[in-house]
């Protein structure tokens, strides 16, 4: 992190982090965005793309499904070749990116990446956006056919090519279909989509640094995008990440931390639950107690958060603060169990804010607690050595405003600012 006002960020790493988070929704298949990016790049090269456009379609492939948060939506996109409600995640992705300048160039192609070619070429959008949107549509459907095939891809490829070819001129631009047919002729095209090879491909592309100076406001906006992806997963946790971030910032300010530290705490609060995207929807929405196996799955999410964030240069400390939100001073939390010295005050603040916001928010198994009940819960956790008693004193001293903030009173929610477009 470079100074108090700006950060020199590898934007490519941030794009990969967004894809990594969004792809967790696939549960057992978390490489979809990376494979779509690979397929798009290979087709783009067949089309004679410039280096700039190759890089563009790679990032677009990574970002195209940023509007998918739920397991149900992911399943429908995979099992149905042309799903009528596919436009929903396209509009969500468009709204997430359209106002964030560093990534806004991908918003229009994402909006139309499930629009058939016969409709797309009639729209009032640039030829470049139309081309990129349709390229990603084709690459996405190729990957769906490949991922659901029961055969070795080298054996299944002729069926995939035939399936795509049937829609040339209707759903897919004929020249893009032809470029795909040329690209796939080599066995290497299909072998490279295997997990270990696709990871190597993405690592190679990551080395092409797209460095950009981001202000604190920019980084917050990017974190809001990622928080929105997470909080859309369940209506029971709507705006949880946003409200944790606001509450954590307030506690940090009252504790006496400087503005930069509070900014970073707010960003870590927005990002703390990224790993929950890999938790099955039915577990998050379960109306009763969790079974042992379900608890074990839940306990993975903090580690997943760390794995996503620590790969972005400059976010190493934020990665720890975010990922330690279920740790305890007494060492009884999960999943890292840091010692008391490793458990920084910033991480402790987020841990307190996370618990307090969760208990006042409605959940599938209970109604949100009143102010007195919520304080009773966190006071008991402090007595047991899990939460920091000094930080709890700050919360207690500002109990009314903390309660209102945790409940979202006076806070503009993420979804109200990002209402899906009707375009």
Judge whether 276 counts as a catalytic residue. Answer: yes
Burial level of 146, CB count in 10 A (0-12/13-18/19+)? Answer: middle
The residue written with tokens 């470049």 in the block is 128
Nearest residue to 372 (alpha-carbon basis) of 382, 384, 380, 362: 380
Q: Give the dihedral sign, CA 103/93/245/381.
A: negative
Which helix (H) or strand (E) segment holds residue 128: the answer is helix 127-147
Nearest residue to 223 (alpha-carbon basis) of 205, 246, 251, 200: 246
SS3 138: helix
Q: How do 211-215 and 6-10 pair as beta strands? A: antiparallel
Distance CA 23, CA 86 (A): 16
Q: Kindly name the residue from 246, 276, 320, 386 that is annotated as catalytic.
A: 276
What Cα–Cα distance (Å) separates residue 304 from each residue in 35, 95, 283, 352, 368? 20, 26, 17, 20, 27
What Cα–Cα distance (Å) separates residue 160 from each residue in 118, 144, 148, 157, 167? 21, 10, 11, 5, 12
The token pair at 58 is 């790679």
Catalytic residues: 276
């Amino acid at each position: 992190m470079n100074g108090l006002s700006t950060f020199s960020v590898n934007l490519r790493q941030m794009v990969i982090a967004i894809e990594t988070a969004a792809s967790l929704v696939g549960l057992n298949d978390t490489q979809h965005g990376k494979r779509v990016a690979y397929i798009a790049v290979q087709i783009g090269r067949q089309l004679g793309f410039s280096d700039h456009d190759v890089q563009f379609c790679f990032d677009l492939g990574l970002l195209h499904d940023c509007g998918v948060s739920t397991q149900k939506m992911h399943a429908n996109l995979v099992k149905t070749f042309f799903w009528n409600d596919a436009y929903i995640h396209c509009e969500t992705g468009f709204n997430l990116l359209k106002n964030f300048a560093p990534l806004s160039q991908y918003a229009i192609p994402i909006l139309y990446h499930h629009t058939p070619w016969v409709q797309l070429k009639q729209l009032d959008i640039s030829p470049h956006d139309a081309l990129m949107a349709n390229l990603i549509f084709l690459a996405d459907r190729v990957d769906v056919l490949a991922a659901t095939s029961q055969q070795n891809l080298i054996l299944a490829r002729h069926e995939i090519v035939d399936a795509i070819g049937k829609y040339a001129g209707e759903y897919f631009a004929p020249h893009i279909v032809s470029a795909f047919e040329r690209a796939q002729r080599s066995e290497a095209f299909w072998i490279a989509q295997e997990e270990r090879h696709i990871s190597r491909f993405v690592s190679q592309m990551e080395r092409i640094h797209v460095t950009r100076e981001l202000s604190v406001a920019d980084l917050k906006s990017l974190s809001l995008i990622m928080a929105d992806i997470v909080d859309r997963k369940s209506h029971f946790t709507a705006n949880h990440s946003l409200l944790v971030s606001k509450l954590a910032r307030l506690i940090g300010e009252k504790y006496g931390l400087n503005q930069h530290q509070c900014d970073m705490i707010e960003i870590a609060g927005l990002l703390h639950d990224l790993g929950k995207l890999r938790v099955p929807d039915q577990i998050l929405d379960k109306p009763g107690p969790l079974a042992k196996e379900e608890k074990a799955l839940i306990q993975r999410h903090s580690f997943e958060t760390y794995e996503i964030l620590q790969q972005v240069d400059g976010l190493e400390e934020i990665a720890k603060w975010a990922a330690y939100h279920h740790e305890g001073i007494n060492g009884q939390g999960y999943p890292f169990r840091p010692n008391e010295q490793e458990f920084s005050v910033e991480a402790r603040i987020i841990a307190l804010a996370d618990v307090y916001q969760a208990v006042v928010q409605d959940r599938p198994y209970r109604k949100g607690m009143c102010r007195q009940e919520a304080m009773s819960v966190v006071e008991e956790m402090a007595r047991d050595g899990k939460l920091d008693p000094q930080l709890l004193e700050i919360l207690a001293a500002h109990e009314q405003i903390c309660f209102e903030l945790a409940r979202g009173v006076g806070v503009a929610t993420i979804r109200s600012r990002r209402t899906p477009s009707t375009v």
